[in-house]
Chain A
Amino acid sequence: MNLILTLASRNLFHDRVRLIATVVGIVFSIVLVTVQLGVFLSFERMVTTMIDHAQADFWIVPAETKSFEESSLLAGRERLQALSVDGVTAAIPVVVGYASWRKPNGGASTPVLVVGAPTTAPGLQPWNVVEGSPDDLSMPDGVAIDRSYFEQLGIAQIRGRAEINNQKARVVAVTNGIRSFTTTPHVFASIERARAYLGVPPNRANYYIVRIAPNANAAVVRSRLAAGLSDAEVLTSDEFRHRTRVFWLFDTGAGAALLGSAILGIIVGTIIVAQTLYSSTKDHLKEFATLRAIGSSCRYILKVILAQALISAVVGFAIAAAIDLALVRMTSDAALPIVMTPELTVGLFGLTVVMCAIAAISAIRVVTRIDPVLVFAQ
């Protein structure tokens, strides 16, 4: 093995207390960053889950709509205007709104987000249905909820009954894994029932999901759609996703808080690693002076310091990654699970290396100023 690596690793492992302090600093930092970024990613995915599962070429949305959950009603004429454009094959209404869910056995009401769409058109249907079927939403008072919300909504099983805004509701379909990023459960219903629950007049909707013919020119269709609309916008799914993410992640401050915590984790980790590397270097100052005296270049000594930082990074990251994996598994069924992607893993390793390299700067400043004459001091 290269003597630089040998010297660096033995310097590190020689002082185990300091090594533990360094590794704990890195692990603390990386786990904190992973949790924050993992939740951020999870949040980013969950806020667009409805848009992701809608079969839309375009969305007609009220002007200045900020997110899927927060929108006003369209005027109602947009559907016919859309259908009059060449290439448009369908304009499917979607109704979204908050309502009050009253449990069947009494008790406090729970807010829910009602999502309504026609059961006969492939626009926005519940997915991952594990009991019943999406078609069952056409049954009287039929709604679909996720089984993870049974307890919160006071439902024991399919066919359970409740009230939404003082109107009857009956669970006719159960989904698995459609969780809200807030504490407000999603409730799927037919467009008619959703309008009734939310008090939306017939022929009005929050959105129209536009589908176009396979051979239609999307850009031309979009342009013609937009030209005919007032007080409404035409968005692609990507644009709607982006707008929803920006609103929830940054306009509300939630994402900024997560990123802020992640940055704080990086700073704290960097300081801890810098402090331990600095004190380690100070303790080995005579050895570095000896290296300088026997003719080593500054670059050689820098390599030793950086190798120490990188070995710390690898050891710390390995432990942090194991803890992160455990956290990912533990939170897989949580409302906001921690998401770990290969890209995030690679990015975190890079971040760990950069963090440790930056942390080495204070130690490097010490050794670059070292005076080889120090070897003569007793």
Chain B
Amino acid sequence: MKNIMIEATEIAMTLGEGAARVEALKGINLSLAGGELTLLMGPSGSGKTTLLSVLGCMLSPTSGTVQIRGRSTTGLNAEQLAEVRRDNVGFVFQSYHLFPTLTAAENVRLSLDVRGERSSRARVKAETALATVGLSHKANAFPRALSGGEQQRVAVARAIVGDASVILADEPTAALDSENGHAVMTVLAEIAKDAARAMFIVTHDPRIMPFADRILRIEDGRIVNDQRRGANLSAVRTLKYAS
């Protein structure tokens, strides 16, 4: 039986008002299981980032419910949503969003610091996370001294250091060349094998598809296709990440 980490039910999201009113999400139903890497693909403006924001508890849906590890986020205020993110969600952003004035290790440790974890154990956890992404030797480097791929791997370490049950990644390879993109995806795919963690990646990049256990397609705020590894996904698995 699959371990459901996040479950969205009948999610609708309306943005803007009056003439600018847009129905960004229309009745989305979605469950993400631990140990599974799910891709969300779709054209620009289809609602990918909005759905990511809702699943990541950054936006509250206009209607519908989101449950993270069985806890409903309905009705929570901004501080309570931040607490849910802190305890359950790790983010990886397209532009990395590392703090330029902090070293790689400090950037990773920040995720623990906001949770009040400041003991020497926090340092060890940060070192372990950096080791997981293969950057132990760059722990004291500042972001400006790292390549794009290395910066993204630091961002991945920051996302996993707090043992988040859901990792949400927004176009994690979009700013990277093929080699670095492949390296980052290899790390993410490895992390996604952990049954205690669901990974959800929004992407335009078809080269990522071979890493997926499941691919969702979204158009006009609706999920129009849901393929799982196996017969349906075997076709896309033949695609190789260019190198």
Contacts and interface: CB of A to CB of B under 8 A. Distances in A.
Nearest to B159: A294
Contacts of B83: 295, 297
Contacts of B114: 291, 294-297, 300
A373 B106 contact: no
A372 B101 contact: no
A6 B100 CA distance: 12
A3 B49 contact: no
Contact of A372 (B58, B102, B109): B58
Contact of A295 (B53, B59, B100, B115): B115
B158 A294 contact: yes
Interface residues of A, number: 26
Interface string A359-378: 00000000000011101101
A293 B85 contact: yes
10 contacts: A7-B102, A290-B93, A294-B90, A294-B91, A295-B114, A297-B82, A297-B83, A298-B78, A298-B82, A372-B82
Query: Which 3 A/B pairs are nearest by Cβ-Cβ distance?
Result: A295-B86, A10-B101, A296-B114
B93 A7 contact: no
A6 B106 contact: yes
B109 A296 contact: no
B101 A373 contact: no
Interface in B89-113: 89-91, 93-95, 97, 99-102, 106, 109-111, 113
Contact of B95 (A297, A372, A378): A378
B102 A292 contact: no
Interface string B58-101: 11000000000000000000110011111101110111010111
B11 to A, nearest CB: 16
B232 to A, nearest CB: 29
Contacts of A378: 94-95
A139 B118 CA distance: 80
Contacts of B113: 2-4
Contact of B99 (A2, A4, A287): A287
A283 B136 CA distance: 30
A286 B95 CA distance: 11
Contacts of A292: 82
Interface string A1-32: 01110110011001000000000000000000
Given A3-B113, A6-B102, A290-B97, A296 B82 contact: yes
A376 B170 contact: yes
Per DSSP, are chain A's interface residues mostly helix, strand or loop, or mixed? helix
Contacts of B82: 292, 295-298, 372
A292 B89 CA distance: 12
Contacts of A3: 102, 106, 109-110, 113, 118
A7 B100 contact: no
Contacts of A11: 101
A376 B85 contact: no
Contacts of B109: 3
Interface in A107-147: none
Contacts of A376: 49, 52-53, 93-94, 170
Contacts of A290: 93, 97, 99
A296 B101 contact: no
A375 B93 CA distance: 8
Among A286, A373, A376, find the residue whose CB has the most chain B CB atoms closer than 10 A: A376
A295 B161 CA distance: 13
A137 B111 CA distance: 81
A219 B97 CA distance: 75
Among B52, B89, B93, find the residue whose CB has the most chain A CB atoms closer than 10 A: B93
Given A292-B82, A300-B114, A375 B99 contact: no
Contacts of A297: 79, 82-83, 86, 114
Contacts of A287: 97, 99
Contact of B111 (A2, A10, A294, A372): A294
